[in-house]
Amino acid sequence: MKNKQLTDIIIYPIKSLGGIHLTNVKLTPRGLRHDRRWMLVNEKNHFLTIRQHPEFLYFELSQDANGFEITHRIKKASLKIPFEISSGNKVNVKIWDDTVNAIEADEQYHQWFSEQVGYQCRLVYLPDAAPRRVQPDWVKAEHHVSFADAYPYLIVGESTLADLNSKLEEKITMQRFRPNLVFSGGEPYDEFLWKDIAIGDGLMQCIKPCTRCIVTTMNPETTVAGKEPLKTLFKQRINDKMVFGENAIAINGDEIKIGDEIVVKSTKQSPYEPI
């Protein structure tokens, strides 16, 4: 059995916008540090997602010691925002079935994003004090998540993508699946049967495969959507769901880094085994 090693770490500071590749990061209960703590909402305070707004693919992010820089790849406009905010107008925002108490950013940020996308939107931040529980049907212990769709972490193996690409006419990149953690070694879809794992000194629990949507069909460069990879994932669905990558939670708050060995401490009998 090949040794499994962490090869990529990605955070997505603003939900549905571009990711940032890191060499090391701290695990937190809600996800990787700074991952999906910001989000764009509409005039009804409902979350905006790449599913309905593929133009979000044009936003690229980077970070320095003071915060994040957002750049619109086509318009070449840029904006800097802090890592976090602790004060401001509090507003209840809707994300899927959850209502979460968030903090509005400054008006200048609302205006900038609205100008770039061509419609009114506002930027909000999720503070540590605002609860948003991970689905209790799958995780009995109380864990909370950021503005990610449902779970704090998404793990994908390089061999899993290689297997999928072997069935596609045109190869796609890992970017289509927006993972947080990518690893080498092991067999395709190994991650579906992991339960307890260690990454360096960090401990995590894997929950269930990630159900995939139309976002995976969008070309990150052109925003144009096709039929793949959903067409192929439909043929190899598990539990009648199109899945790719494994959802997970963190058990401790240690730092992880590229090159860390991934040790599988226990496995599941089925990909759908609640913990």
Residue 141's pLDDT is 92
* Residue span of the structural domain in which 46 resides: 38-125
Residues 177 and 114 grouped into a single domain? no
pLDDT at 240 over 70: yes
> For 241-250, what is the mean pLDDT?
98
Q: Which residues contact 91 (CB under 8 A, 6 or more apart)?
A: 45, 101, 102, 103, 104, 124
What percent of the chain shows pLDDT beyond 70? 100
Q: Which residues contact 118 (CB under 8 A, 6 or more apart)?
A: none
Instruction: Note whether residue 95 is domain-resident.
Output: yes
Token pair recorded at residue 130: 């605002």
Residues 139 and 8 grouped into a single domain? yes
Instruction: Note whether residue 77 is domain-resident.
Output: yes
Provide the pLDDT confidence category of residue 1 given band limits of 50, 70 and 90. low
Count of the separate structural domains present in the chain: 2
> For 38-57, what is the mean pLDDT?
97
Instruction: Note whether residue 275 is domain-resident.
Output: no
Q: How far apart are CA 39 and CA 36, in angstroms?
A: 7
Mark which of 96, 125, 154 sits at the end of a domain: 125
Instruction: Note whether residue 110 is domain-resident.
Output: yes
Residue 121's pLDDT is 98
Q: How far apart are CA 200 and CA 263, in angstroms?
A: 8
Token pair recorded at residue 241: 């769901």
> For 40-47, what is the mean pLDDT?
98
Q: Which pLDDT tens digit goes with each residue over 125-162?
A: 999 999 999 999 999 999 999 999 999 999 999 999 99
Instruction: Note whether residue 274 is domain-resident.
Output: no
Is the Cβ–Cβ distance between 209 and 247 less than 8 Å?
A: yes
Residues 22 and 49 grouped into a single domain? no
Q: According to DSSP H, which parts of 12-131 are helical? A: 107-117
Q: Which pLDDT tens digit goes with each residue over 67-110?
A: 999 999 999 999 999 999 999 999 999 999 999 999 999 999 99
Residue 133's pLDDT is 97
Residues 80 and 118 grouped into a single domain? yes
Instruction: Note whether residue 273 is domain-resident.
Output: no
Residues 218 and 90 grouped into a single domain? no
Residues 205 and 220 grouped into a single domain? yes
Instruction: Note whether residue 215 is domain-resident.
Output: yes
Is the Cβ–Cβ distance between 215 and 179 less than 8 Å?
A: no
Residues 252 and 190 grouped into a single domain? yes
Alpha carbon separation from 188 to 49, 127, 157, 158 (Å, rounded): 29, 37, 7, 8
User: Which of 144, 185, 157 has the alpha carbon at shortest distance from 37?
Assistant: 144
Residues 59 and 178 grouped into a single domain? no
Look-up of token digits 């993972």: 179
Residue 47's pLDDT is 98
Mark which of 66, 91, 125 sits at the end of a domain: 125
Please provide the average confidence, as pLDDT, over all residues in the chain. 97
264: β partners: 197
Sheet holding 255-257, edge to edge: 31-32, 24-28, 255-257
Residues 255 and 194 grouped into a single domain? yes
Bin 176: left if φ > 0, else alpha if -120 < ψ < 50, else beta. alpha
Q: How far apart are the two ends of the chain, measured CA to CA in Å?
A: 26
Mark which of 71, 97, 125 sits at the end of a domain: 125
Residues 91 and 24 grouped into a single domain? no
> For 236-245, what is the mean pLDDT?
96
Residues 218 and 244 grouped into a single domain? yes
Residues 144 and 246 grouped into a single domain? yes
Bin 72: left if φ > 0, else alpha if -120 < ψ < 50, else beta. beta
23: CATH: 2.40.33.20
